[in-house]
Amino acid sequence: MPTLPVSPRKWGSMILTVSSKTFRITDDDVEYIEISIFAPAESKEAIMFRMDEMGSLGFEEQEDKIIAYFDPSRSPAKICNELLKFRPVLSSSGLDPSFTCSFQVIPETDWNETWKKDFVPIDVGNNLTIVPSWLAAGSARMPIIIDPGMVFGTGHHETTRTCLCLIERLARSSAPKRRFLDVGTGTGILAIGAARLGFGQIEAVDVDPLAVDAATRNVAANGLTNITVRQGTISAADGSFDAIAANLLSEILIDIAPELAARLNAEGTAVLSGLLAGQEDEVITTLTSAGLAFEEKIIDGKWVSLVFRK
């Protein structure tokens, strides 16, 4: 019997989250097959991974179901039948296999306009406001102008908001603020927030060329000249830093722990997020073994953020 694959959170920044919705944006104005799966909460993640393997164009996760979108050239009945064959895999892995499947063909939709309706200005912390690039800032607060395109980082996700709040708190402290590094920058939102809050020279790195393009455009839209965006891992960054932010998967944080610790200046601060509750212990152990002192844990819903000091 096959085993369950790795977590779908490995899919990368081609997945865009707006509010509670998740889409992978493809062509505009085309029909899609919509598959609705009513599934137990414990089985949703595995089912989404299976649908991704089956060629799903994207997902919308709701409280009681998953909606997956497929190309209209596919047979919806065959998709459902193929998905139902996944029940024994769930069962053998100790997960509840009792999901049901239905389908419909949905009319032409402009997906870009659909998710833009959900992306509204949002205040974060005491000073920041995240503003979609197609709206006027219109606020006395510090604006972070963002056009996410196909990249994660709109400020609506708990981990992004928590990171920004922690960066804001760090900016108000007496800690040095000469150099800041954003690892896995996505849209560049954390780097831009750091610039607005007074950090000096800022670097932002991401392995995804789409993220590098989005971050570069967003930095320009904000009129900032003290942010350098590079493609690559943390190794692509230049020099050492007074503060490092990384909103990444737990396994990536663990992998980069030695270099992250080495790149942090004495008395420097690391703000780490992207962790689901229960994943933090291994990250804490790894980072402390790399030479950092664990300082704080912040929980927001099912997400955990961590603060370390060198």
pLDDT digit string, tens, across residues 159-168: 889 999 999 9
**Sequence-separated (6 or more) residues with CB below 8 Å from residue 164:** 124, 125, 128, 155, 189, 190, 193
Report the CATH number at residue 223.
3.40.50.150
Model confidence pLDDT, tens digit, residues 160-196: 899 999 999 999 998 989 999 999 998 899 999 999 9
- Out of 4-18, 235-249, 256-270, 286-300, which region has the weakest mean confidence (pLDDT)? 4-18
| 43 and 127 share one domain | no
- Looking at the 3D structure of the chain, how many domains does it have? 2
Tell me what pLDDT residue 52 has.
Answer: 81
Answer yes or no: is pLDDT of 228 > 90: yes
Tell me what pLDDT residue 138 has.
Answer: 64
| 46 and 28 share one domain | yes
Tell me what pLDDT residue 63 has.
Answer: 78
Distance CA 196, CA 200 (A): 10
Q: 116: pLDDT confidence band, cut at 50, 70 and 90?
A: low
Kindly report the average pLDDT of the chain as a whole number: 82
| 107 and 154 share one domain | no
Q: With respect to residue 3, please indicate whether it lies within any of the assigned structural domains.
A: no
HSE-CB for 198 with a 13 A CA cutoff: 12
Residue 51 belongs to what domain range? Answer: 8-114
Q: With respect to residue 1, please indicate whether it lies within any of the assigned structural domains.
A: no
| 123 and 108 share one domain | no
More confident residue, 260 or 107: 260
Given 114, 133, 164, the domain boundary residue is 114
Given 96, 114, 132, the domain boundary residue is 114
Tell me what pLDDT residue 29 has.
Answer: 43
| 265 and 161 share one domain | yes
| 25 and 133 share one domain | no
| 123 and 110 share one domain | no
Report the CATH number at residue 44.
3.30.70
Q: With respect to residue 233, please indicate whether it lies within any of the assigned structural domains.
A: yes
**Complete DSSP assignment for 146-209:** E--TTSS--S-SHHHHHHHHHHHHHHHSSS--SEEEEES-TTTHHHHHHHHTT-SEEEEEES-H
HSE-CB for 261 with a 13 A CA cutoff: 19
CB 23 within 8 A of CB 60: yes
Assessment of whether the complete model's pTM goes beyond 0.85: no
| 253 and 131 share one domain | yes
Q: With respect to residue 280, please indicate whether it lies within any of the assigned structural domains.
A: yes
Edge to edge, the sheet with strand 142-146 lists 122-124, 128-132, 142-146
Answer yes or no: is pLDDT of 240 > 50: yes
| 110 and 134 share one domain | no
CB 152 within 8 A of CB 143: no
| 199 and 266 share one domain | yes
